[in-house]
Structure 1
Amino acid sequence: MANFSDCGKHCSHPYCNQQDLLPFECDACGKAYCSHHFSYDAHDCPKGRQATDRRVIVCPLCSLAIPHAHGEDENEVWERHAASGSCVPKQVTKPNRCPVKGCREKLTFSNSCNCGTCGIKVCLKHRFEDQHDCHPCPSQKQHGNNLLQQFVQLVKAS
């Protein structure tokens, strides 16, 4: 028979001491516990409250979550963050919306397409030419040819 006395660890709870093959390790105090004593309350973890008491404030300028300790003044935490140089204010940008009159659909990568005729980015409801104000623009090649002809005429005239 195999001897399993060396496998696993004993529960660190003073009244338990049960040997467990797969013990839980407390992330606050680092001790090993059985399945009955792994919670902070079950083994009266002195550091447990500190490990779970996580507080943050959200910076109104850069939208970054700033952690702070319990009892620490939020204004002081924010002022320290603003003075640290890591606070870079974001430029507020409005979301792109479908340009069709009366449509308020926000355009994202998954619900928009560019019209092949006019090149305007529209929502999927208005992707067909007859559903938005579609005016075909001259192709780049045609536009380039027009500019070339104008240049040739200017050269001939001079």
Structure 2
Amino acid sequence: MNVALYSTPRFGALKHTIQSEEQRNSSSGDDVAQPPSSPSNNSSHQHEDAQDLLSFGTHCDVKDCRQLDFLPFRCDSCTQTFCLDHRTYESHKCSAAPNQDIRIPECPKCQQKIQRPRGSDAAAQIQKHIASGCRDLVLLAPRRKCNHKGCKNTEALSFKCNRCEHQFCIKHMRVQDHTCSSQSIPPSGSDAHRLAKPGQSALKRAITAY
């Protein structure tokens, strides 16, 4: 009997209705899904990101360079913007560079005077000096010759006599050591002792005779 029931036309119509409903539900679920983005949309977004990144950098104002630099340097004389290689007056041939600036930079670490060629950057010279262990680019003091006759010493450290106002080395820095040309030279301790002996002898003889 069951077999006869499944073979009736009414059961076939019911089965067809159920299948149609399942197909309708499956098609409606597909409609909810979002379509994938097209390749053209991805390329446009990438182009916009690149433009935003380039807007942060600045091109070097040197015509033959035009390098994009994200940490540019602004010249304090001509107010133009330059890359790392053209940041100094000399490298970008600055026409507004102050020619009167001849100050000698001093190392903040060792307090030595640093060489600075005309048009060069003082900060860059100090950085090179410190990077060498405070050995390179040191501006040496001029050596002075000792004014004592016959002395050939030339030293960076010299001493000025307060009497004759001449410069002498450490060996001849004292008045009695460089035969000072000043007329009023007080005798040294040994010379004063020798000069005092004749006077003391004469005084003793006078007291004895009396």
Give the structure-2-normalised TM-score.
0.24
Q: Which has the higher helix share?
A: 2
Which structure has the higher relative contact order (CA within 8 Å, separation 6+)? 1
Larger-gyration structure (1/2): 2
Give the structure-1-normalised TM-score.
0.31
Q: Which has the higher strand share?
A: 1
